[in-house]
Amino acid sequence: MSAQLEEQDLEVVRRCPPCERGPGMWMATFADMAILLMAMFVLLIALAETAKQRNTMFSVAGDNQSAFGTQDIIESDLAPSGYQGAEVSADTNEGYEQVVKALAKEINDGKVEVTIKDQRVVVNVEGSDNPNSDTARVQQEELEIYTKVAEVQRKIKVDVKVSQESEGTTSDSEAWEQMFSAQYRQIRGDLSQAIEQERAEVIREGDKIIVRLASQGSFRSGVADLQQGFTGLLDDVGSAIKNVEGLITIEGHTDNLPVGFSLRFRSNWDLSAARSGAVADYLLTKYAFTKGLMVSGLADTKPLMSNDTTEGRSRNRRIEIVIDGSF
């Protein structure tokens, strides 16, 4: 039996085709791995060379910056007019140039003089000593100067001091008072027709200018939608206050009567806030205010008159636009 099995095994061996000579399949796999490793090393070398070139470029840029870059202190014999000192900072010099550019016309007309003192830009506004001069025109010119200076101040990094010279240089507080008073007179002048028609009031309380708008024709009872006749007055107000300096707040005020059946407003707080927001939204669609607008709903907390009478309640329902000059 065993002999028969051995004979069969030999027969299987004789039938098996001869193996091919040469490397086996493992050699192909090994070659693929070697090629991948070589490609990886080539990539690493290329990346290293790129990083080296980049570092060299940055190094050159740094050397150039050291050689030609900006300096915090500019030493120059051509100091601005009125400058006191031996050094002008780059920010001060840039601010001086910006102010001079903005006030070029006024400088040429001899109305202002721009100088530098103690690293600050100083704008001296020449006052008029002529008693026959047009007061309204002079005030408007001064307001335009203050407005231009304020616009430049927002763009530069140094302080700009404004002083007015007539018989002498005024203090900062006096210059501010003159500027704010000029703004107050300008707003009253622009809204003179509405004031005569008793549709608006313009009053000043300390460092605040208040534009008070009557309730008649502004909103329907219990509603915060602007009436068409009210938008014309808001256009006049927006044009009058669009360039003023100060924080502007739109205040909504109501009487003390509870809000009637309403799905939108639960109280006078909600109603007054919605009305002030509606006014602010309308103004912002037409005018760009330097410091934006704030809204406030005060309900019946600041009455002007007693709420015991119809006249008093009508007086208390109002919109007030408050310009706070202390900001």
**CATH code for the domain of 282:** 3.30.1330.60
113 and 233 both lie in a single domain: no
The whole domain housing 100 covers 88-170
256 and 314 both lie in a single domain: yes
Inside any domain, residue 26: no
Inside any domain, residue 230: yes
123 and 230 both lie in a single domain: no
Q: Please, which residues have CB within 8 angstroms of residue 60's CB and are 6 or more apart in sequence?
A: none
Which of 135, 170, 205 is where one domain is finished?
A: 170
H helical segments located in the chain: 2-15, 25-68, 90-102, 104-108, 135-153, 172-190, 192-196, 228-241, 268-284, 310-316
96 and 211 both lie in a single domain: no
247 and 139 both lie in a single domain: no
Q: Please, which residues have CB within 8 angstroms of residue 133's CB and are 6 or more apart in sequence?
A: none
Question: Any idea what the CATH number is for the domain that residue 136 is in?
Answer: 3.30.300
160 and 267 both lie in a single domain: no
Inside any domain, residue 5: no
Pick out the chain residues at pLDDT < 70. Answer: 1-28, 49-88, 127-139, 154, 164-172, 261, 327
Q: Please, which residues have CB within 8 angstroms of residue 123's CB and are 6 or more apart in sequence?
A: 99, 103, 112, 113, 114, 145, 149, 160, 161, 162, 163
Inside any domain, residue 286: yes
Inside any domain, residue 182: no
Inside any domain, residue 95: yes
Inside any domain, residue 27: no
166 and 203 both lie in a single domain: no
The CA-based angle 125-131-132, given to 5 degrees, is 110
Query: In this predicted structure, what is the pLDDT of residue 182?
Result: 87
Residues 193 and 240: beta-carbon distance below 8 Å: no
Please state, in angstroms and as integers, the Cα–Cα distance from residue 146 to each residue in 7, 103, 125, 214, 310, following that order: 120, 10, 9, 31, 44
Inside any domain, residue 53: no
Residues 241 and 191: beta-carbon distance below 8 Å: no
229 and 120 both lie in a single domain: no
Query: In this predicted structure, what is the pLDDT of residue 74?
Result: 39
The three-state secondary structure class of 114 is strand
210 and 94 both lie in a single domain: no
Residues 34 and 42: beta-carbon distance below 8 Å: no
Alpha-carbon distance of 145 to 157, in angstroms, equals: 19
191 and 160 both lie in a single domain: no
- Number of domains, the chain: 2
Query: In this predicted structure, what is the pLDDT of residue 221?
Result: 85
